[in-house]
Amino acid sequence: MIEKDSLSSSDRYFDLTIRNGRVCNNDGSSYADIGVRDGVIVALEPGLPAGKQDVDARGLWVLPGGIDSHTHIEQLSGMGLMCADDFYSGTVSAAFGGTTTILSFAAQHRNDRIPDVLADYSRRAQEKAVIDYGFHLILTNPDQQALEVDLPLAIQSGITSLKVYMTYDMLKLDDYQLLDVMAVASEHGAMIMLHAENHDMIRWVARRLLERGHTAPTFHTVAHDVLAESEATQRAISLSRLLDVPILIVHVAGKETVQIIRHAQKLGAPVYAESCPQYLFLEASQTDALGMEGAKFCCSPPPGDKESQEAIWEGFKDGCLTVYSSDHAPYRFDETGKLPKGEATTFKEMANGVPGIELRLPLLFSEGVMKGRLTIEEFVALTATNHAQMYGMSPKKGRIAVGADADLVLWDSEKRVTVSADMLHDRVGYTPYEGRELQGWPVQVYSRGRCVVRDGQLHVERGSGQLVARNRPEPVLQHKPSSGRRVFGELLGLKKFKNNGYE
């Protein structure tokens, strides 16, 4: 039996205890104390003795650290624009918002070799990150070397997810290439994340708009019609069903897209989906009267109308949408990002994306949990547990449990905050959520038992984050090849990932 609180702090068994808080996971909550040694949770029960560092969490929720599985950090865009956040500022900002793990993108440009890309991003993150991190590969050149050598090696090394684009001149893969990549993912066990928008619809509409002088940011929304998203999503799902391989549609915006995904899921297709704060809390019409300022709200796909917002809420509630990520795309409102040609920048030339890494969780806590749209368990699932499962980080990440990393966030559900760009820790300089009143805030943040944020201060060093070891995604491991596609797969020599495949 461990001695009680009278032990001197150097004799205490736990390095850290968090006591008297209400601990919540994706499947329930209870009052329990948490004991941490060497960065790992080793005890979880009421009545633990104090550790060397003892935190009183009375009156607070203790939740798993947030996992943000869609962030763009220190990434060069296809248009050659560099994000404003590097792995230091991006991870500091994430931590202040209650996130303890990010997955970011290692972006291949068409002439880059995949091993070089991965090595480059890993080196930069290792030097700067203050919380744990991992990478998805953005694949833009699925040539023979990539398909036969580099991708299989990357997947085996733990890069078990990759993002591919169906639009953007510099990034886009055609359907044939998408099938090639899906076949590799199926054979080696990786999750394909798809940016699903119809390239030619966008290109055609954009040209007509520009020819008629409609260049302002608000026309970005017109060019990216909701049908571009829903058509491409339907097509991506058909391609994935042809090969019977799991996919995840990222940054879902529109109601029709949610309906298409739900329909496919009802048919038993292994289709997963993500949405983001901008599709719950921003609206297309917000850019109408803003002139160039509208660029601060522009991302792809663009936010929809009220009905689409409702559909995203419903999708989160009924499990159609599995992960809630920021899609933090930090571009400044100047020539480095949103305005490469100053006031003369057209909607086609501005950097795409909005910042949100720090406000992702407070927005959902306030609007979802505090307003009764989500239970706190659903909040935990959408912000942490499901990400860990989706990207092969369970059981170390995403839950408060013995054996898991001590990634813990103390939430004060009474604390009220008015959002302003000045209080945030990214390097963007604005937020599309300026002036919002939020209730509930992450007041203390621990990563592998290290206090990262407390009393509004950062307590860890640059470079103290670690690369997260990643297994294959659970939806990939659990996927049972459909018997209806077996003969087809055998005829084409499609090998399934060995753990559950045909062999």
Q: Which residues bind ligand DUC (CB under 6 A)?
A: 72, 195, 250-251, 299-300, 327, 329, 352-353
**Which of the listed partners (ligand DUC, Zn ion, none) does 299 bind, with a CB threshold of 5 to 8 Å by partner kind?**
ligand DUC
Residue found under tokens 């920021």? 326
- Nearest distance, CB of residue 90 and Zn ion, angstroms: 13
Element (H, E) at 176: helix 175-188
In this chain, which residue has its C-beta nearest to Zn ion? 195
Q: Which is nearer to ligand DUC, 25 or 275 (CB)?
A: 275
**How far does Cα 243 stand from its chain's mean position?**
26
Residue found under tokens 């209650």? 98
What values do phi and psi take at 67, rounded to 5?
-115, 125
Cβ–Cβ under 8 Å, residues 140 and 170: yes
| 134-173 positions binding Zn ion, by CB under 5 A | none
Structure tokens at 131: 């919380």
E strands in 204-297: 247-249, 271-275
- Nearest distance, CB of residue 194 and Zn ion, angstroms: 9
3-state secondary structure of 373: coil
Q: Which is nearer to ligand DUC, 270 or 301 (CB)?
A: 301
| 234-293 positions binding Zn ion, by CB under 5 A | none
Q: Which is nearer to Zn ion, 69 or 240 (CB)?
A: 69
Q: Which is nearer to Zn ion, 26 or 325 (CB)?
A: 325
- Nearest distance, CB of residue 86 and ligand DUC, angstroms: 17
- Nearest distance, CB of residue 165 and ligand DUC, angstroms: 7
Q: Which is nearer to ligand DUC, 185 or 299 (CB)?
A: 299
Cβ–Cβ under 8 Å, residues 94 and 127: no
- Nearest distance, CB of residue 502 and Zn ion, angstroms: 32
Structure tokens at 270: 């292994």
Cβ–Cβ under 8 Å, residues 261 and 230: no
**Which of the listed partners (Zn ion, ligand DUC, none) does 352 bind, with a CB threshold of 5 to 8 Å by partner kind?**
ligand DUC
Task: Establish if 74 lies at the interface with Zn ion (CB under 5 A).
Answer: no
CA nearest 276: which of 238, 236, 318, 304?
304
Task: Establish if 327 lies at the interface with Zn ion (CB under 5 A).
Answer: yes
| 15-34 positions binding Zn ion, by CB under 5 A | none
The percent of the chain in helix, strand and coil, each rounded to the nearest 5, is: 35, 20, 45
Task: Establish if 195 lies at the interface with Zn ion (CB under 5 A).
Answer: yes
In this chain, which residue has its C-beta nearest to ligand DUC? 353
User: How far apart are alpha carbons 480 and 233 in whole angstroms?
Assistant: 22
Please provide the distance, in angstroms rounded to a whole number, between the alpha carbons at the two ends of the chain: 50
**Which of the listed partners (Zn ion, ligand DUC, none) does 282 bind, with a CB threshold of 5 to 8 Å by partner kind?**
none
- Nearest distance, CB of residue 302 and ligand DUC, angstroms: 10
**Which of the listed partners (Zn ion, ligand DUC, none) does 425 bind, with a CB threshold of 5 to 8 Å by partner kind?**
none
To the nearest 10°, report the CA torsion of 15, 16, 20, 23. Answer: -120
Q: Which is nearer to ligand DUC, 14 or 135 (CB)?
A: 135
Structure tokens at 194: 């798809």
Q: Count interface residues toward Zn ion (CB under 5 A).
A: 2
- Nearest distance, CB of residue 110 and ligand DUC, angstroms: 17
- Nearest distance, CB of residue 455 and Zn ion, angstroms: 32
Q: Which is nearer to Zn ion, 188 or 195 (CB)?
A: 195
Q: Which is nearer to ligand DUC, 186 or 300 (CB)?
A: 300
Element (H, E) at 193: strand 191-195
User: How far apart are alpha carbons 178 and 181 in whole angstroms?
Assistant: 5
Cβ–Cβ under 8 Å, residues 171 and 162: no
- Nearest distance, CB of residue 351 and ligand DUC, angstroms: 8
- What residues make contact with Zn ion under the rule CB under 5 A? 195, 327
